Amino acid sequence: MEMISVQQAEEIILSQIKNFGIEEIFYENALGRILAEDILTDRDLPPFDRSTVDGIAISFKSFYEKGLRDFTVKAVQAAGETPLSIDEDNECIEIMTGAALHSSMDTVIRYEDILINNNIASINIDIKKGQNIHLKGKDKKAGEILVKTNQVITPSILGIAASVGKTFLKVKKLPRVAIISTGDEMVPSENIPTPFQLRRSNGITIKSVLEKYRINADWLHWNDDLEFIKKELSQCIDNYDILLMSGGVSMGKFDYLPKACEELGIEKLFHKIKQRPGKPFWFGKSQNDKLVFAFPGNPVSVFMCLHRYFIPWLEKSLEINENPQYAVLQNDIDFSFSLQYFAQVKLSMNPSGQLIAESINTNGSGDFSHLAETDAFIELPLEKTEFKKGEVYKIWKYNF
């Protein structure tokens, strides 16, 4: 199978969208999960006519028709208390913000606009009927939708859920994911490597990205041993929905993953994309419909392939609706290879409110030193070799 384009790879990956089902969880554990139901009002919002200020409540006709300006304070009512009524035209209730308004009154005046002396409240401004009242059902009627399904659950959504007594929420189930790094030369990060070894970093990078989606992935490392890889791979295919692998997919003598997948009957859907970084990317599907995303081992390649291919697949599988993002290039880039180039860029806003991208020079897919100071990959078209300041291209954000 020859190298395919970025667009072809995207189409193949997105043809494998999965639905992992729905589960119900306690709302305190739901932050960051994907809502799988509409949240409805259990009663009118607000559920009663309520005062929006601290002050007094009167019947407007006493002020307008009878010309009264002085009102006897009958009682004081706090929020949460049973509404108090007035019996006479010249009576009022001192009422606090959020308190329910009795039907005998229809207008509220702020403390700032009255004078209370010897239990008599005097109004010293002109007023309007119905002022400073939040009417019952003004925001939503009982049974109306407050929050629509297929949204990432945010703190504000949790607050809304709590306000209508929705303490158990239906959410999208998450895939079971294993992150697998490979290579004899890779040692644990806490170890001191020999002059010819490297510390493992891809695993923690991928795991950290997935935690944004509340996926708690398992993290494994395999050395370059074909039989061991086959044995472990067979078990992982049974126990996980998705395998995210790094390393072992190029043309080297110890890159065993493509051979191991073939011998286990895992179908190769593509191997190698016309792109830099990340050209040797391998993608396949097992006989029981488990997916294998096998990224090349260089850290920048892993980071780019994860954000360009896996994250869009995950968001579509979870029905998260994210619009493509674009930025204006701030400097010229020349790239003479016949590959689609993903350049690391710093993002910022210009005075016109446009998102702008400034590329930086790197030393290839093994140079991860700039990932902390950049914000995104900008995707530059395959058919061009010169990219000019002011041109607009798609971006894939990671730190912005």
Domain boundaries, the chain: 6-20+174-318, 25-45+138-172, 50-134, 325-397
Helices (H) and strands (E) in the chain, counts: 8, 28
What is the pLDDT at residue 176? 97
Quickly state the pLDDT bin for 221 (edges 50, 70, 90).
Answer: confident
Largest CA distance in the chain: 98
Determine which of 14-23, 192-201, 361-370 has the lowest per-residue pLDDT on average. 361-370
What is the pLDDT at residue 185? 72
Determine which of 93-107, 152-166, 214-228 has the lowest per-residue pLDDT on average. 214-228
What is the pLDDT at residue 200? 66
CATH of range 6-20+174-318; options 3.30.1490.20, 3.40.190.150, 3.40.980.10, 2.60.40.420: 3.40.980.10
Residues 69 and 120: their CA atoms lie apart, in Å, by: 10
What is the pLDDT at residue 75? 97
DSSP assignment of 64-123: HTS---EEEEEEEE-TTSPPP---STTEEEEE-TTPBPPTT--EEEEGGGEEEETTEEEE
Q: What is the pLDDT of residues 41-89, one digit of tens each?
A: 999 999 999 999 999 999 999 999 999 999 999 999 999 999 999 999 9
Alpha carbons within 13 angstroms on the beta-carbon side of residue 65 total 8
What is the pLDDT at residue 188? 72
Residues 163 and 238: their CA atoms lie apart, in Å, by: 42
Residues 246 and 231: their CA atoms lie apart, in Å, by: 18
What's the rounded mean pLDDT across residues 182-206? 78
Greater confidence, 24 or 298? 24
What's the rounded mean pLDDT across residues 269-281? 94
What's the rounded mean pLDDT across residues 101-118? 97
Instruction: Provide the percentage of residues in the chain whose pLDDT is more than 70.
Output: 96
Specify whether the backbone of 76 is left (phi greater than 0), alpha (psi in -120 to 50) or beta: beta
What is the pLDDT at residue 251? 64
Quickly state the pLDDT bin for 297 (edges 50, 70, 90).
Answer: confident
Closest CA to 185 of 354, 370, 366, 395: 366
CATH of range 50-134; options 2.40.128.110, 3.40.1260.10, 2.170.190.11, 2.40.180.10: 2.170.190.11
Alpha carbons within 13 angstroms on the beta-carbon side of residue 293 total 29
| Superfamily for domain range 325-397 | MoeA, C-terminal, domain IV (2.40.340.10)
Quickly state the pLDDT bin for 364 (edges 50, 70, 90).
Answer: low
Q: What is the pLDDT of residues 303-342, one digit of tens each?
A: 999 999 999 999 999 999 888 999 999 999 999 888 999 9
Average pLDDT, the chain: 93
Q: 25-45+138-172: what CATH class?
A: alpha beta
Q: What is the pLDDT of residues 231-248, one digit of tens each?
A: 999 999 999 999 999 887
